[in-house]
Structure 1
Amino acid sequence: MLAAAAQDADREFSFNEQEFRYIADLVKTKTGIVLADHKKNMVYSRLARRLRALRLESFEAYCSFLESGDSEDEMGMFINAITTNLTRFFREPHHFDHLAEKMSEQFGNAPTASRIRIWSAGCSSGEEPYSVAMTMAESLTRLSAYNFRILATDLDTSMVANATAGRYRLRDAEGLSKARLAKWTIQDRSRNEMTIKQGLRDLITFKQLNLLHDWPMKGKFDAIFCRNVMIYFDGPTKDRLLNRFHSCLAPGGWLYIGHSETILEQRDQLIPMGKTIYRKALR
């Protein structure tokens, strides 16, 4: 208790338990993300920037502003500040090896114009869907002859904007081989930047989407990547999301989840096929 009081005294803004609970409840309502008590310091550090930007003097004032009817624009900034965006190219590479193998088996000899759809749900700054695009372009040499698209969605509007631009620091190229770096990016070493080539970017549609709200997509997906997203949801929210993913997958479609995530209750619908890889039954 004394340590917590001393920490509060050292902070730029006071931040009490009631304010944290209000913010945690709001985050849960808006995003489904559950903020445990040990996340209080993280919440403070991320939202203190918003208080400075708005020239507010306290978290009490910020909570009041969020609760007012004048905070619609700020609500987006609030959500963007809270959500975590940790990713890199070809993170958990076994997923991309598996995708290449299975998509090549399924579509390698399929008629041209065959429809192929992949969804990156929680795409963050875009490294995941660009990794998917590289994988598909390399494993299906006639990819341009197919009706192929990747949908990439994220809750954070700033991440969607960054992903759409396809521009990264060269140090973010970790995970890309030299061959892939040369083939799929344009490098500007004077600015320490790289940009994903337009042909690859054209394969992806980036959209802002809250996974807990309505989904406008109508067609089925051959694969869905939703990795390190469900760890922030409670059990009932996770179960509902998995049921919705199941409904969106084509028969035999694949679901890839994060290394720290598990599926227990849905194993009759989503069959484990490898490390954090699941498949919808063919019937």
Structure 2
Amino acid sequence: MPALASQITTDVDDHLDMRDFQRIATLIGTEVGIKLPPAKRLMVEGRLRRRLRHLGLATFAEYGDLLFRRDGLEGELPYLINAVTTNKTDFFREPEHFDCMVKTLVPTLIEQRKDRSPLIKVWSAASSTGAEAFTIAMVLADLHAARRDFRFAVLGTDISTDVIETGQRAIYPSEQIAPVPPGMQTRYLMHSRRSGARPEVRIVPELRRHVRFERLNLMDAAYPYDRDVDIIFLRNVLIYFEKADQAKVITRLVGHLRPGGYLLLGHSESMIGTSITMRQVAPAVFQKV
């Protein structure tokens, strides 16, 4: 099969049958909660072409047969989800939230706690390749160095196994870390010394020890995590969900926050926050009361 796959190039004039696209859209909506309207068909085709080449399939009709007419759906579903999910992420995206975390959220959380050197738990609930989770860890590591009165742990979860593996490797193209302040680059990044290779960096092991990544589908009925999380980042993912699913996801996540904990949404999702029964303390930042 690999030899055959290397000889096959999918025809750019070949397209998903509309019936198969609608079945894929329904499947992704049910399994992941992501909306795929007809306008997204070309995007889905573009993302699936590499998968077709890997499988040695010449046409989308053959792929549709594999999914819906040859009982291949169960084995192929994780790869289909990886292909169609959007994984836009950056280090220090929407930096106002990290400033708020340092100046207000973490100091308030520490003050509320009675235990000595409390463990601050932060969850990046749509972590993609890990840029957000490692940004959180960098910010908390700097704050810890200045205060020394707390500990921290960061959890990153995502539906895509591909991006979870990237986060676990913690290796990124050098150009991707441009938003990271120079001082933090020095403290928290190691540069590859391989000659001739694409320049890459890796998060230092001292920081990686504070961060773990696991696969999680936000559409699951329950999440297997602690219910005393201090801060949850859920930024720029709800816009892809139907309103009913947005409410369910938020309700489940808020259930994992400790009283006084914080939920952070993307700035583009601020209107979603108006339906949350929490106290707004900053733009797109809500506190559980």
Q: Classify the secondary structure of the residue corresponding to 1:260.
A: helix
Aligned to 1:183: 187
- CA separation in 1, counterparts of 2:171 and 2:111? 31
In structure 2, how many angstroms separate the alpha carbons of the residues matched to 1:35 and 1:108?
44
The answer as to 2:210 corresponding to 1:203 is: yes
Q: 1:170 to 1:43 in 2, by over 3 A?
A: same
Letter in 1 for 2:226: K
**1:21 matched residue in structure 2:** 22
Residue 147 of structure 1, CA deviation: 4.8
Post-superposition Cα deviations, 1:230-267, rounded to whole Å, max 9, x if no partner, equal 11100100011111122111111111111211325633
- The separation in 2 between residues aligned to 1:236 and 1:80, in whole angstroms, is 23
Contact 1:167/1:195 (CA < 8 Å) preserved in 2?
Answer: yes
Count the aligned residue pairs: 271
Distance 1:264 1:205, change over 3 A: closer
Quick one: distance in 1 between partners of 2:172 and 2:12? 33
- Pick the aligned partner of 2:283 from 246, 253, 275: 275
Superposition deviation, residue 41 in structure 1:
0.9
Query: Which residue of structure 1 aligns with residue 7 of structure 2?
Result: none
Q: Which residue does the alignment assign to 2:88?
A: 86
CA deviation profile, 1:27-69 (whole Å, cap 9, x unmatched): 1111010112211110110112212211223323212312343
Partner residue, 1:266: 275
Counterpart pick for 2:143 among 99, 121, 139: 139
Residue by residue over 1:175-223, the C-alpha shift from the partner in whole angstroms, topping out at 9 and shown as x without a partner, is 1111111111111254411110001100011001111113111332110
Counterpart Cα distance in 2 of 1:30 and 1:172: 31
Counterpart CA distance in 2 for 1:109 and 1:138 is 21
What is the letter of the counterpart of residue 55 of structure 2? Answer: L
Task: Sort the Cα spacing of 1:43 and 1:109 in 2 relative to 1 into closer, same or farther, 3 A.
Answer: closer
> Which residue, 161, 170, 173 being the options, matches 1:157?
161
| Distance in 2 of aligned mates of 1:164 and 1:149 | 15
Residues 13 and 48, structure 1, Cα contact 8 Å, conserved in 2: no
- Give runs of aligned pairs for residues 1-283 of structure 1, distance below 5 A: 11-67=12-68, 68-101=70-103, 102-107=105-110, 111-141=115-145, 146-188=150-192, 190=195, 191=197, 192-213=199-220, 214-261=222-269, 262-264=271-273, 266-267=275-276, 269-281=277-289
For 2:284 and 2:183, how far apart are their aligned partners in 1?
Answer: 28
- Aligned-residue Cα RMSD (Å) equals 2.1
Describe the SS at the equivalent of 2:255.
helix
Q: Equivalents in 1 of 2:274, 2:99: separation in Å?
A: 27
Equivalent residues of 2:130, 2:164 under 8 A apart? yes
Using the TM superposition, give the Cα deviation of residue 270 of structure 1 relative to its aligned residue in structure 2, in angstroms.
2.0
CA apart distance, 1:113: 4.1
Q: Distance in 2 between matches of 1:197 and 1:264?
A: 35
